[in-house]
Amino acid sequence: MERHCSFSLKELLAPAISYARDGFVVSARVAGAFQRKDSLLKQCENTINTYQINGRWPQAGEILRLPDLAYSLELIANQGVQVMYTGELGERIISALERHGGLLSMDDLEQHQSYIEATVLGHYRGYQIAVQQPPTMGTLLLQQLALMEASRVPVTGWDSADWIHLMIEAKKASFSDLSAYLSDPGHCEIKPEQLLDSAYIKQRASDLSLSQAASYVPGEIGALLSHTTYLTIADKEGNVVSWIQSVFNEFGSCWIAPGTGFVMNNRLSGFSNDLEHINCVAAAKRTAHTLLAPMVLKDNKPVLALGTPGDYGQTQTNLQVISYILDHGFDVQRAIDAPRWRSLEGMEVAIEGRFSASLIKELSQRGHAMQVMEDWTDLMGGLKR
């Protein structure tokens, strides 16, 4: 913010403070989330006290007020973000955790560091694609696009079996690398440029099964070769922000420290308990995660910024939207509105019923275990213009 923002933190937080203090209308989606997480939310007395209205979870259309959250945001606005790590908010969190047997201490919060890192750049159809460094899954999106281009499969119709099959197989191949190579760069020898190296991509592209659904194992690396919120914004000076944040599951851990008004995330659940796994839990380590806020550039100038909730479906939703625009000439709104699919475990593929029955039948004949979902399902991510 100090490097790029023309507004103060107090100015930026003012609308959020107003909504928290004065209230906001509960949407049908948020009301549904309260019902889905009922049992977990009820395990924390302060979560109940924070969210419930007259002894029940808020319903769609009701006004929800969060005075503790307003107070916390005012502290941050007046004292800066360090109040979370060395000040009153941090002390409230640690005090509550200690009463419940938590392991975090003020020393842990005080040692927190935020990183400003260079983006990872890939290329597709003459465009540059910029994503975040690991431990995000941005490198996997670049790898999927690179595999599609390296496969030399002709760009056919956006709803053709050949094209969708190629994208599914590229996703599965890249995800086999996820479990083997993606982790906190400070604890991992494999770097993004190795997964995107032209020789490695050529090798992986040759592994793709272009006629039948297949399973994949991680490639051989040489010495060098989702409760998620996304927004993008541009200003009159040409600055563009692609931003994503998440507490992971709906309501994260479902646990709120008294007097804070916000849930703690449960992102640590992304770690593996297998101490031999590249993403095993360790001190001062960031877990591999799905958050992805890509930006597409042409001649080093931004032309598209996008993102979506959807945990492990994020790369797939972004992949399809980018392909709709760059491969098939869709405008942004048409790309957002177009039907989508999502590759699940193994050969399973969820697909919207808005695709044709003949396409779904042909993909089934190629070995994909197709599951036809309701139209506009949240499983496929969510983008708005």
Q: Which domains are seen in the chain, by residue range?
A: 82-114 (no CATH), 120-226+289-380 (1.10.246.130)
- Give me the mean pLDDT over the 336-354 stretch: 95
> Rounded to an integer, what distance in angstroms lies between the CA atom of residue 365 and that of residue 131?
35
Determine the average pLDDT of the residues in 142-163.
94
Instruction: Return the C-alpha torsion angle 189, 192, 198, 200, nearest 10.
Output: 50
Q: What is the pLDDT of residue 312?
A: 81
pLDDT value at 223 more than 50:
no
Structure tokens at 385: 């213009």
- Given a cut of 90, whether residue 231 has pLDDT beyond it is no
Which of 172-186, 261-275, 290-304, 356-370: highest mean pLDDT? 356-370
Please, what's the b/e burial string for 20-59 (b: 16 or more CB within 10 A of its CB; e: otherwise)? beeeeebeeebbebbeebeebbeebebbeebbeeeeebbe
Measured in Å, how far apart are the chain's first and last C-alpha atoms? 24
Supply angle C-alpha 337, 292, 221, rounded to 5: 120
How far, in Å, CA of 268 to CA of 361, rounded? 40
Q: What is the pLDDT of residue 5?
A: 83
pLDDT at residue 322 is higher than 70:
yes
Cβ of 204: how many Cβ atoms within 10 Å?
Answer: 24
Is residue 114 predicted with pLDDT exceeding 70?
yes
Q: What whole-number distance in Å separates Cα of residue 182 and Cα of residue 335?
A: 29
Using DSSP, state whether 327 is helix, strand or coil: coil
Rounded to an integer, the average pLDDT of 250-279 is 89
Residue 220 pLDDT class (50, 70, 90 cuts): low
Residues assigned a catalytic role: 228
What is the percent of the chain with per-residue pLDDT over 70, rounded to a whole number?
98
CA distance 16 to 24: 10
The residue-averaged pLDDT of 225-233 equals: 74
pLDDT at 144: 95
Q: What is Dmax (Cα atoms) for the chain?
A: 62
Query: How many residues in total does the chain contain?
Result: 385
Give pLDDT, residue 221. Answer: 54
Residues 6+ apart with CB under 8 A from 64: 23, 24, 26, 51, 53, 58
Contact 340, 380 (CB under 8 A): yes
> What pLDDT, on the 0 to 100 scale, is given for residue 225?
31
**pTM recorded for the entire structure:** 0.79
Question: Residue 222: pLDDT above 50?
Answer: no
Q: CB-based contacts of 279: which residues, under 8 Å, 6+ apart?
A: 135, 179, 182, 183, 270, 271, 272, 287, 288
> Between residues 270 and 298, which one has the greater pLDDT?
298
Angle at 143 between CA 140 and CA 148, to 5 degrees: 130
Q: Work out the average pLDDT over 16-21.
A: 98
Residue ranges in the chain assigned as alpha helix (H): 9-22, 28-36, 38-41, 45-51, 67-79, 88-99, 106-110, 138-150, 161-181, 192-195, 198-207, 314-326, 332-337, 357-365
The answer to whether 242 and 293 are in contact (CB under 8 A) is: yes
224 falls in which pLDDT band (50, 70, 90)?
A: very low
What mean pLDDT is reported for the chain?
90
Q: For tokens 């994949």, name the residue.
A: 216
For residue 324, is pLDDT > 50? yes
Where on the phi/psi map is residue 43: left (φ > 0), alpha (ψ -120 to 50), or beta? alpha
CA dist 350 → 144, 282, 334, 347, 361 (Å) = 18, 34, 21, 10, 13
Exposure of 306 by Cβ count < 10 A (0-12 exposed, 13-18 middle, 19+ buried)? buried
SS3 assignment, position 357:
helix
Residue-by-residue DSSP string for 187-212? G-S--HHHHS-HHHHHHHHHH--SSS
